Structure 1
Amino acid sequence: MSLVVRQPGLLSLLQDRGRFGQHGIGLTTGGPLDTEAFALCQRLLGNAPDSTLIETSFGGLELEARVATFVCVTGASMPLTINGRTQALWTVHRIEPGDRISLGYAEAGCRSYLGVADGFDIPPQFGSTATVLREKLGGLRGEKLAPGDVLPCAATSGRPLLQLPPAWRPHYQNQVTLRVIPGYQQAHFSRLEQRRFFSHRFTVSDACDRMGYRLEGPAIRCDIEGILSEGICHGAIQIPADGQPIVLLNDRQTIGGYPKIGAVLSLDTAALAQLQPGGSVYFAAISPHDAHNALHLAQARLSCVPMPERPHEYQ
């Protein structure tokens, strides 16, 4: 009882919410880059929040079902077809053995999440199934999906075919404004450099992956070139010697020695991770108090998202 990978696309990884509490032994977090799309996929399917699904970047994934179950795809606008017929994203679909599920290439955004009812049955490593390629850990063999990979999942029946109303779906654009909580090293950046950082446009370079997004724009100077290596939080904005910011993401190293001007609010790193190379980035400073308020409001909004059933299609 499984789904079999026929074409893995450019980069498809098994992910759960991430590997927490392991930084002390040098293991990073992993997990979904777009936590909102990940969480909504789990809710639509009625899964536990930490179930394992597939994160696919840029598209091209093709699976064959060997089990009767339900699937849902959220995130970037990647055309979804089942047996060659176009199907809606953000919607639960029933599949039968022999069905072919295909994702085209992203038209807006770049990360999608394909889940099955009750999640994929993958043994955890260090408390998580999250795949981190740099550490060769999680998923299947610690690697990206490959043709012929078998993804075990249970046969399921009796699920409602829910859908997320269009008004509640994220709209992925080619420009984002990232809210930044300044850090204690901000004092090493002059007022002029801070103003340059918060008032100019940066673009996403080709050097962007799950470890971090390197940006291109006006060089930001710091009065120190390096610091003693210290722990690095999700969203930290490192400023290396060339002055080009790097926003660190899920697969970041656990320690580093570049000065940091602040950290991007975790809500906004999801929007950043949906940008393709060439996308535009602006930064805006916020206080820790405002950051906490934004997180609580986002959690409240997520709990109120309506998920109606498609009429006459309960299986």
Structure 2
Amino acid sequence: MSALVKVSGGLVFSVSKPNYGKQDYGITPQGPLDWLSFLIAHILIGEPADFCGYEIISAPTEFILQQDVILVITGAEYANYYCYSVTGSVLQLRHNTVYEIKAGSRIIMNGKRIGFRTYLLLTNVNIESKQYIGLQRDNFFYSTLSGYSNVLDVVTGPEFDYLVNPAQVLDTPWQISHLSDTMGVRLNGSSYQLTKYDILSSAVCDGTIQFTKEQPIILLTNRQTIGGYPRVLVVTKLSLCHLAQTPFNKIIRFQLIDLVVAEQRLQATYQMLAMARIAIQRKILANK
């Protein structure tokens, strides 16, 4: 599907759905960092198996469409989105809205941005995908993230008891290092003390916070599958979306919650997504 669009400049990564089931072979699921924004975009265009997705850190000079497409933009919102057609017309696009765009058109996004990662998803134009044109996120996803928070929910990890004084970690601010990447977010902040700083290499997951002697590292989607540093805390799956939208050098804090509460909040989000799918299909059937 890479033939759908040509990217000129910027910091843009091709991204697809996570691929689970291979971690025992040392292969991580990968996938988008803000999984919820990505999933909402995929639902809005009909959840096609064949699609093209981009995670945008720094906006490119332009996206040039190689053929007619159905597209939607979600995640971090730029102030301006413009589509310049080959005929010379200009269309101002709306965030979180599905459009049909003709081949040869140029898409430009600029201005102030709220958040850090923007998602562009595209699929081929056909009878099925045309049914989703005009859908808007706010008409279906009523309980989605309302703004991005720098307070991340965390649960205790397997080596939480290694912390000599948990308040040193939980009650102080942490700054996201500019050395962070899609493997992990490195944090700069206060000192802390553990009873030991290594373990037998053990399984890790997205959101695991490994505590080295130098700094905590929050593991992300391109992480390793095992690690030898204490797994003191784990960022919840929902809070990982907030973390994904927090730029370098910004301050975050941790809020310790019970695992049961974290699971309940995640299940409520999955329920919201299921209800949105049903509402979208009802709307499509009503329009036939």
TM-score (norm 2): 0.85
Aligned residue in 1 for 2:14: 14
8 A Cα contact 1:214 1:245, kept in partner: yes
- Tell whether 2:116 aligns with 1:98: no
Per-residue deviation, 1:14: 2.0
8 A Cα contact 2:4 2:122, kept in partner: no
Aligned residue in 1 for 2:229: 258
8 A Cα contact 1:202 1:280, kept in partner: yes
Per-residue deviation, 1:178: 1.2
Matched to 2:213, the amino acid is: A
Per-residue deviation, 1:303: 2.9
Per-residue deviation, 1:31: 0.2
Change (3 A) 1:223 1:94: same
8 A Cα contact 1:69 1:156, kept in partner: no
Matched to 2:97, the amino acid is: T
**Any idea what SS the aligned residue of 1:299 has?**
helix
Q: Distance in 2 between matches of 1:59 and 1:156?
A: 28
- Tell whether 2:157 aligns with 1:156: no
Aligned residue in 2 for 1:188: 162
Q: Distance in 2 between matches of 1:302 and 1:9?
A: 31
Per-residue deviation, 1:238: 0.8
Q: Distance in 2 between matches of 1:51 and 1:17?
A: 10
Unaligned runs of 5+ in 2: 85-89, 282-286
Per-residue deviation, 1:77: 1.3
- Tell whether 2:117 aligns with 1:111: yes
- Tell whether 2:215 aligns with 1:215: no
Q: Distance in 1 between matches of 2:114 and 2:249?
A: 13
Structure (1 or 2) with the greater strand fraction = 2
8 A Cα contact 2:34 2:244, kept in partner: yes
Matches within 5 A, 1:1-315: 2-10=3-11, 12-48=12-48, 51-60=51-60, 62-78=62-78, 79-83=80-84, 85-104=91-110, 107-117=113-123, 154-157=124-127, 158-159=130-131, 160-165=133-138, 168=142, 170-173=145-148, 175-190=149-164, 193-242=165-214, 244-305=215-276
* Alignment RMSD (CA, Å): 2.7
8 A Cα contact 1:199 1:282, kept in partner: yes
8 A Cα contact 1:3 1:63, kept in partner: no
Matched to 1:162, the amino acid is: L
Aligned residue in 1 for 2:284: none
Change (3 A) 1:164 1:180: same
Per-residue deviation, 1:221: 1.4
Per-residue deviation, 1:106: 5.9
Per-residue deviation, 1:241: 0.7
8 A Cα contact 1:68 1:156, kept in partner: no
8 A Cα contact 2:100 2:125, kept in partner: no
Change (3 A) 1:52 1:99: closer
Per-residue deviation, 1:8: 4.2
- Among the aligned pairs, what percent are the same residue? 27
Change (3 A) 1:62 1:292: same
Q: Distance in 2 between matches of 1:297 and 1:40?
A: 15
8 A Cα contact 1:18 1:31, kept in partner: yes
Unaligned runs of 5+ in 1: 118-153, 309-313
Structure (1 or 2) with the greater helix fraction = 2
Bigger CA drift: 49-58 or 18-27?
Answer: 49-58
Change (3 A) 1:45 1:290: same
Per-residue deviation, 1:231: 1.4
Matched to 2:261, the amino acid is: D
Q: Distance in 1 between matches of 2:15 and 2:226?
A: 23
